[in-house]
Amino acid sequence: MSILVKSDAKVLIQGITGSFGAKHAQLSIDYGSQVVAGVTPGKGGQFFEHGGRRVPVFDTVAEAARVTGATASAIFVPAPFAADAILEGVDAGLEVVVCITEGIPARDMLQVKRAMMGNMRTRLIGPNCPGIVTPGDGKDSYGGCRIGISPGYIHKKGHIGVVSRSGTLTYEAVWQLTSRGVGQSTCVGIGGDPVPGMSHLDIIKLFNDDPDTQGMIMIGEIGGSAEEEAAGWIKNHCRKPIAGFIAGATAPPGRRMGHAGAIVSGGKGTAAAKIAAFKDAGIGVAPTPSDMADTLLKMM
């Protein structure tokens, strides 16, 4: 099984005619993702062609979803327009919206979060994230569902869930598992912006309820309190082994480190506090990024 998207999910690409969106649409098709539509305002009626597939392009998400039955989207839209692109997916009733775009103003994302309050249908992953991969069984190319920019070849179908704020550390954890012959149920990069969609806790709850996920790797960063909140829930409710890693232990206070949300201020959001919360919750803490998979496998 998997969380959020299954291997047969129907995916549309917002911004499919741009160079970045086009490149990753091609890679998703090559991975086996069912890319059924593209959306670029003003270019409706055109087609995106790759690998023998002829994907129709629509002017709006609502029309694309209605005609093709798409249930998920990947957003490759410039930052000034990305918040509207997210809300277009929400208004169309998509189940999952994955926003890859970096640099969306925090005020725009706050407006998105307010507009989504009470929405029980659409899950937002990102922004500023690598997206989500549910590995396939190797048939029909890789046979899985890749929404975003994660490299497909590093994934292997299996039973470990991965959730991370860092894109590159997501890839590192996945590759460590695959190199050891251990597959993944679903891998989710939630992004490192200060106003995100789904949180560590949201993903951990889904993994905990998924009967096919037998263990998890959770990767966090300095800044904010999301990791501590997840650890508090895990301590009281989680039934599965979890290994964790916190990036940014040597970052100087008050300085943003890579991600807009990775900043320590007022004594909050430190690596030490997050690591302490992990240990208190029974999460196995990897001392370095290269130890993430081994830490989990030892626990299992």
For residue range 67-122, what is the model confidence (pLDDT) as tens digits?
A: 999 999 999 999 999 999 999 999 999 999 999 999 999 999 999 999 999 888 99
* Closest to 210 (Cα-Cα) out of 186, 183, 243, 181: 186
- Three-class SS state of 217: strand
Based on the residue annotation, tell me whether 237 is a catalytic residue of this protein.
no
Cis peptide before 127 (omega within 30 of 0): yes
CA dist 153 and 150 (Å) reads: 9
Q: State residue 88's pLDDT score.
A: 97
Q: State residue 142's pLDDT score.
A: 62
Other beta carbons within 10 angstroms of residue 276's beta carbon come to 14
23 confidence band (pLDDT: 50, 70, 90) = very high
25 confidence band (pLDDT: 50, 70, 90) = very high
**Where is average pLDDT lowest: 2-6, 9-13, 40-44, 264-268?**
264-268
Q: What percent of the chain has pLDDT over 90?
A: 80
CATH of domain 156-299: 3.40.50.261
CA dist 32 and 27 (Å) reads: 9
CATH of domain 10-125: 3.40.50.720
Q: State residue 254's pLDDT score.
A: 61
Q: Supply the DSSP string of 224-246, one letter for each residue.
A: SSHHHHHHHHHHHH--S-EEEEE
Look at 277 and 7; give whichever has higher pLDDT: 277
Q: Is it the case that residue 255 has pLDDT exceeding 80?
A: no
Q: State residue 20's pLDDT score.
A: 95
Domain ranges of the chain: 10-125, 156-299
Query: In this structure, are residues 90 and 115 in contact, taking their beta carbons and an 8 Å threshold?
Result: yes
Same fold, 10-125 and 156-299: yes
Q: State residue 139's pLDDT score.
A: 53
Q: What percent of the chain has pLDDT over 70?
A: 92
Mean pLDDT of the chain: 92
For residue range 207-230, what is the model confidence (pLDDT) as tens digits?
A: 999 999 999 999 998 888 899 999
Rg (CA), the chain: 18
Looking only at the bridges linking them, the beta strands covering 157-164 and 184-189 are parallel
For residue range 156-209, what is the model confidence (pLDDT) as tens digits?
A: 999 999 999 999 999 999 999 999 999 999 999 999 888 999 999 999 999 999
Strands, E, within the chain: which ranges? Answer: 10-14, 34-39, 47-50, 53-58, 72-75, 96-99, 123-125, 131-134, 145-148, 157-164, 184-189, 215-221, 242-247, 284-285
Q: Is it the case that residue 253 has pLDDT exceeding 80?
A: no
Query: In this structure, are residues 55 and 16 in contact, taking their beta carbons and an 8 Å threshold?
Result: yes
For residue range 230-241, what is the model confidence (pLDDT) as tens digits?
A: 999 999 999 899
Q: What is the mean pLDDT of residues 137-148?
A: 75
- pTM (predicted TM-score): 0.92
Q: State residue 153's pLDDT score.
A: 92
55 confidence band (pLDDT: 50, 70, 90) = very high
Q: State residue 260's pLDDT score.
A: 52
268 confidence band (pLDDT: 50, 70, 90) = low
136 confidence band (pLDDT: 50, 70, 90) = confident
Of residues 24, 155, 200, 259, which has the active-site annotation?
Answer: 259
